[in-house]
Amino acid sequence: MTVMIDGRGTAEKIRSQLKQKTEQLKQQGLEPCLAVVLVGDDPASQVYVRNKKRAAEKIGIKTKDITLPANTTQTELLQLIDELNDDVTVHAILVQMPLPTQLDENAVIERIDPKKDADGLHPENLGHLFMGQPKALPCTPRGIMVLLEEYQIPVAGKNVVIIGRSNLVGRPLAALMINADATVTVAHSKTKELSSVASQADILVVATGRAEMVDETYIKEGATVIDVGINRLANGKLVGDVKQASAETKATYLTPVPGGVGPMTIAMLMQQTLELAEKSNN
């Protein structure tokens, strides 16, 4: 029997707690505000940004919405970020990724004031995380840790294999897992004998961006499998990086797609916005 981890339900529970928290902050005269920056017209990004604004609105977090054309220059985007950094009414800044190819994502992230880093992706915040003293955290990895906690799945001393080494998921998740006393392997496209490496995992996290790449041959009997992938097939169906039916023959816990990790990313973004607002002096 596989327990399906309910990310949607967990995210909803967190959001209702955050709503109360927001009301308290407002009573204290603090109006939390998240700046949401979207460059270009990538349809998936438009959906994610809309969902983020909707989540903020439901919780009572104000958003400052900025949509820029696809041909925006690096100078223009950096100037916008400088303005948001200087705006005392803005507590958190989010730049939706990916950016159009003419823009340098790392330089953009680096320009955000680390104290307003809603996504926790600024090198200074990643540095704190890797030193075991986290401040702002990347939202998807944080959401994964919260789901494991929610389902009381122990991490300390466990073998964790993460497939994928992105700055958004794999690398920061490795740091969070190390900080939680796991034994961590980060595998990727150049890893030899990948299915054999993966099948050592008590907790297998898959963030490859390759639809249904992982089947039961990658999974140890009784493992927890966290599927970070979101892939839309030609027939319109949304699938993860894990073949779900096949994983269910082995996994004890499994995150579905949709309704697993995705909704937690947005809930964590909301939580971080409130935390940054609270830590600010305005």
Ligand X SMILES: Nc1nc2c(c(=O)[nH]1)N[C@@H](CN(C=O)c1ccc(C(=O)N[C@@H](CCC(=O)O)C(=O)O)cc1)CN2
Nearer to ligand X, 50 or 279 (CB): 50
Q: Which of 96, 244, 271, 272 is catalytic?
A: 96
> Could you tell me the end-to-end alpha-carbon distance of the chain, in angstroms, rounded to an integer?
50
Q: 253 with 2: CB under 8 angstroms?
A: yes
Beta-sheet pairing, 159-163 with 92-95: unpaired
Give min distance, CB of 48 to ligand X, in A: 4
Residue 166 is assigned to a ligand binding site = yes
262 marked as part of a ligand binding site:
no
User: CB 120 → ligand X: shortest distance, Å?
Assistant: 9
Q: Which of 115, 116, 117, 119 is catalytic?
A: 119
Residue nearest to ligand X (CB): 262
DSSP lists the bridge partners of residue 239 as: 231
Identify each DSSP E strand in the chain by its residue range.
Answer: 3-4, 33-39, 62-68, 92-95, 159-163, 183-187, 203-206, 224-227, 231-232, 238-239, 253-254
119 is a catalytic site residue: yes
Rounded distance, CA 129 to CA 181, Å?
14
For residue 67, the SS3 value is strand
Backbone angles phi, psi at 183, to 5 degrees: -100, 115
Q: Name which of 5 and 139 has its Cβ closer to ligand X.
A: 139
- Smaller CB separation from ligand X, 90 or 266: 266
Catalytic residue among 6, 21, 52, 158: 52
Separation CA 126–CA 131 (nearest Å): 9
210 is an annotated ligand-binding site residue:
no
Parallel, antiparallel, or unpaired for β 238-239 and 62-68? unpaired
87 as an active site residue: the answer is no
Alpha helix segments (H runs only) across 187-243: 194-198
CB of 138 to ligand X, least distance (A): 7
Q: Would residue 52 show up in a list of annotated catalytic residues for this protein?
A: yes
259 is in an annotated binding site: no
Residues that bind ligand X (CB under 6 A): 47-48, 94-97, 119, 139-140, 168, 230, 238, 257-259, 262-263, 265-266
> CB of residue 59 vs ligand X: minimum separation in angstroms?
15
Of the pair 32, 260, the CB lying nearest ligand X is at: 260
Minimum CB distance to ligand X, residue 129 (Å): 15
* Dist. CA 138–CA 119, nearest whole Å: 5
List, in sequence order, every residue forming a beta bridge with 3; answer none if it has no partner. 253
Q: Tell me which residues are annotated as active site.
A: 52, 96, 119
Which residues are documented as binding site for NADP(+)?
A: 164-166, 230
Which residues are documented as binding site?
A: 164-166, 230
